[in-house]
Amino acid sequence: MSKKIATVIGATGNQGSAFISVLLQKAEYHIRGVTRNPDSDASNALKENGIEMVRGDLTDEASLKSAFEGSHLIFGVTDFVPGYVEHGGRKGQEIEANYGLNIARAAQATTALEHFIWSTLPGIHNATGGKFSCPNFDGKNQVSEYIRADAALLAKTTFLMIGWYETNFKYPVFTPIWVELANKYVVIGDYPADASLPCIGDVRNNLVPFLERILEQPEKVKNGIIVLAYIENVGFEDLLKRWARAHGKEAVYVKTSHETISQALWPRWTDLAEMARFMGDYKGNNWIYHEDEVLTAKKLGIPQSDFVPLSESLKLLKFD
């Protein structure tokens, strides 16, 4: 029997590499990674594990259709950060949405497709009536809405929503800064200290159990079902203090005005802080969703022992 083709966008990134690690344990799949440069060192390393690497450019829908040809399973993901850094929040959102729409349209055209896993986030602007607009959420949601409008594609789709990366601390609006006179780390922001973060923690390891369950029970997670991947719900300042304790230090969060953040401290990064402002307003484990609208680790039968705890992964996150 011929193997089914599982095609992975972003095969060398955090999410894609987690999915690759799951697929490598599944003998029934031929794994295909999509990259702009199939001859890069990262691509060659994957080839050594028997993974087919093909060219695909997220700006070029035709190249994605070619890369997806014959695929039974497609994992789609986009990276918001490069467009954001170069062009700012709104243009970055537009760029990411266009990448995602190219992926979705290429998936639509893949006749062999049985299962499409789209890595996305909630549409904050729509859900909050415009009170909050977070470009790295809303751009992905534009693609989700496109998928929802196509009944045939939606029937094959799982919406995978991954919680707060601990590496978000590396963005300036969240980065702990060492203050020598205070002998502690300080984060200055305009979002609530108790902003409720559904944390995934070590994404490369902690995403794996979710992806395993998705592959084991596809009929349970298709038809536009949302899988919300996080291991623990933590307030922002609590997470900051946990990180500091993991390094034998103290840390404090100092709340200031939006004007201070947007005009003086981090004008280029204030759009990204919107997700923490939103999470301060919509406290709870499921962002904008009711309990019965999402599948969590508990509902998927994943024990906490399957995850790398935050207490361990935070030790590896350093800013000195």
Mean pLDDT of the region 77-82: 93
- The tokens for 285 are 């484990």
Of all residues in the chain, the percent with pLDDT exceeding 70 is: 99
What is the maximum alpha-carbon separation in the chain? Answer: 68
Look up the pTM and report it: 0.96
3-state secondary structure of 14: helix
Taking each continuous run of H as one helix and of E as one strand, the counts in the chain are 15, 14
Per-residue confidence (pLDDT) for residue 88, from 0 to 100: 87
Q: Which CATH architecture has domain 1-162?
A: 3-Layer(aba) Sandwich (3.40)
Q: Residue 223: which region, alpha, beta or left (left: phi > 0; alpha: psi -120 to 50)?
A: left
pLDDT, averaged across the chain: 95
pLDDT one-digit tens code per residue, 136-185: 999 999 999 999 999 999 999 999 999 999 999 999 999 999 999 999 99
Q: What is the residue extent of each domain of the chain?
A: 1-162
Per-residue confidence (pLDDT) for residue 283, from 0 to 100: 81
* Nearest C-alpha neighbor of 238 from the set 209, 208, 280: 280
- CA atoms of 202 and 205, how far apart (whole Å): 6
- In this structure, the number of other CB atoms found within 10 A of the CB of residue 230 comes to 23
